[in-house]
Amino acid sequence: MAVRVIIEKCIGCGKCLKNCPFDAITMENKIAVIGDACTSCGSCLDSCPKDAIEQEATNQEAKDLSMYQGVWVFAEQREGKIMPVVVELLGEGKKLAAEIGTELCAVVCGSQNENLAAELFAYGAEKVYLADAPELEKYTTDAYTKVINAAIIQYKPEIILFGATHIGRDLAPCLAVKANTGLTADCTKLEIDPDDHKIMQTRPAFGGNLMATIVCPNNRPQMSTVRPGVMDKAEYQPNRKGEVIRLACSFEAGEIRTKVLEVVKTMAETISLTDAEIIVSGGMGLGKQEGFDLLKQLADKLGGNVGASRACVDAGWIDHCCQVGQTGTTVKPKIYFACGISGAIQHIAGMQDSDLIIAINKNENAPIFEVADFGIVGDLYQVIPAVMEALDKIG
Ligand code: FAD
Ligand code: SF4
Ligand code: SF4
């Protein structure tokens, strides 16, 4: 979309200047002039009392949309390992690609990472765009943006999906700005219109009180970051083959403005609730921080991880990386224990897809029992030791 001033109508009042968040409008000879910084956001349109600003799709842009093909997944790797969310994105990307009859591709950056292509094929990618350079071993915004942006310009994907990880949330906006397109962050659902190929990107808005569905009608690629743990994983078929396309990677001195000196792993990176098969979560019913020691004992016995409600995180009893729910991690374990958790909607949003939910709560009317497969009404400090004793007996 191009935004332009209709010179004949402009009276030079200057109202549009204040409404441009990008300082893209200047006054020249008492006429508003829109400069290169304009992102076509449209904010200035309504501010003009004379309807002197208009937004229109150019023929060139309309023609360009049809040139964009393929669903791309950004295959984020760390230390040479594909992040779990990538497998979920490939699962979702495959569905989108099938609906519009296009191919599913992955784009991966790293150093000596050729082996990752086979894994990405096994998870359903038909093509892998591979960027292999020492500068790409560890993520930097500049290096990854340069390489992937060049690939977008050359190969013109129609859709690009990123995991809503720290890296995905950093990289995707940079690429969206360069491609002059839209980005919907933290999506929890994606659907596609098979006729016009628009993806309907749904995400929580206003603190989760409503779900907003966002489309990117006039620009390509359509870009989304997707919450880890929400989409179904792609099926692994080890013999699947595909095409590797190598991307050019050359960097000039000073072009990469950051240098990674050391990678320090936070607790969040050592504990992955997204992949856990068993989670023992605790809420305010624990009564004190030390209550998590008991949950840890049960989790260790079962080979699981400890989770928590937000109230416990807010109370400073446990790190945010353990929070399950709408503003924490979305989990889908085989067994989810909710111990002393009331079952607020924001907590349930993050765990309701667990295969089996076991709730322990001393209030028989607690909402958590509505989503639980098994409910135990009682004091968790009596129930959990009894459960552990029973587990010991069966070995
Ligand atoms: P409570 O609601 O206080 O429940 C404690 C429960 O423990 C009660 O049901 C009680 O009966 C039971 N109990 C007490 N003693 C015992 C005992 N000895 N044995 C057994 N049971 C006992 N919450 C999340 O969890 N995750 C989120 O991501 C999240 N995001 C949010 C986002 C927004 C925008 C907002 C507004 C809220 C969010 N919340 C989230 C907070 C949520 O609304 C609840 O406040 C929170 O989940 C309550 O935590 P809780 O169940 O531990 O505590
Ligand atoms: Fe500024 Fe947006 Fe108007 Fe462009 S469309 S001039 S960026 S307000
Ligand atoms: Fe011209 Fe309208 Fe801007 Fe006023 S608000 S300077 S009339 S374009």
Judged against a pLDDT cut of 80, whether residue 1 lies above it is answered with: no
Domain-wise residue ranges, the chain = 2-56, 65-246, 269-394
32: closest CA among 2, 12, 51, 52?
Answer: 12
Q: Whose CA is nearest to atom 4 of ligand 3?
A: 13
Could you tell me how far CA 77 lies from the centroid of its own chain? 15
342 vs 19, 77, 266, 295, 310, CA distance in Å?
Answer: 46, 37, 29, 17, 11
Judged against a pLDDT cut of 80, whether residue 58 lies above it is answered with: no
Mean predicted confidence (pLDDT) in 56-61? 56
Strand, helix or coil for residue 284: helix
Judged against a pLDDT cut of 90, whether residue 209 lies above it is answered with: no
For ligand 3, say whether the CB of 34 is within 6 Å of any of its atoms: no
Mean predicted confidence (pLDDT) in 343-367? 95
Q: Whose CA is nearest to atom 4 of ligand 2?
A: 38
| Confidence at residue 264, expressed as pLDDT on a 0 to 100 scale | 82
* 14 CA to centre of ligand 2 in angstroms: 13
For ligand 2, say whether the CB of 47 is within 6 Å of any of its atoms: no
Judged against a pLDDT cut of 80, whether residue 68 lies above it is answered with: yes
Q: Are 283 and 291 in contact (CB under 8 A)?
A: no
| Confidence at residue 268, expressed as pLDDT on a 0 to 100 scale | 56
- pLDDT tens-digit series, residues 248-304: 899 988 899 999 998 887 665 556 788 889 999 999 999 999 999 999 999 999 999
Q: How many residues does the chain have?
A: 395
Architecture of domain 65-246: 3-Layer(aba) Sandwich (3.40)
| Confidence at residue 65, expressed as pLDDT on a 0 to 100 scale | 80
- If one compares 229 and 27, the residue with the highest pLDDT of the two is 27
For ligand 2, say whether the CB of 32 is within 6 Å of any of its atoms: no
- H, E, C per residue of 33-74: EECCCCCCCCCCHHHCCCCCEEEECCHHHHHHHCCCCCEEEE
Q: Whose CA is nearest to atom 8 of ligand 2?
A: 20
Judged against a pLDDT cut of 90, whether residue 340 lies above it is answered with: yes
Q: Which atom of ligand 2 is nearest to the CA of 19?
A: 8
Q: Are 44 and 53 in contact (CB under 8 A)?
A: yes
Judged against a pLDDT cut of 90, whether residue 25 lies above it is answered with: yes
Judged against a pLDDT cut of 60, whether residue 61 lies above it is answered with: no
CATH homologous superfamily of 269-394: TPP-binding domain (3.40.50.1220)
* 21 CA to centre of ligand 2 in angstroms: 7
Token pair of 139, please?
């993520």
3-state helix, strand, coil in the chain (%, to 5): 30, 25, 45
Q: Which atom of ligand 2 is nearest to the CA of 39?
A: 7
Looking at the chain, the whole-number percentage of residues with pLDDT higher than 70 is 95
What is 2-56's CATH number, 1.10.10.10, 3.30.70.20, 3.40.50.720, 3.90.280.10? Answer: 3.30.70.20
- pLDDT tens-digit series, residues 384-395: 999 999 999 886
| Confidence at residue 266, expressed as pLDDT on a 0 to 100 scale | 66
37 vs 180, 213, 243, 258, CA distance in Å?
Answer: 11, 28, 38, 25
Judged against a pLDDT cut of 90, whether residue 241 lies above it is answered with: yes
| Confidence at residue 394, expressed as pLDDT on a 0 to 100 scale | 82
| Confidence at residue 176, expressed as pLDDT on a 0 to 100 scale | 96
- Quote the Cα angle for 123-128-131, to 5°: 130
- If one compares 382 and 55, the residue with the highest pLDDT of the two is 382
Token pair of 363, please?
């209030």
| Confidence at residue 57, expressed as pLDDT on a 0 to 100 scale | 62
* 87 CA to centre of ligand 3 in angstroms: 50
Within this chain, domains 2-56 and 269-394 share the same CATH topology: no
For ligand 2, say whether the CB of 34 is within 6 Å of any of its atoms: yes
Q: Whose CA is nearest to atom 2 of ligand 3?
A: 48
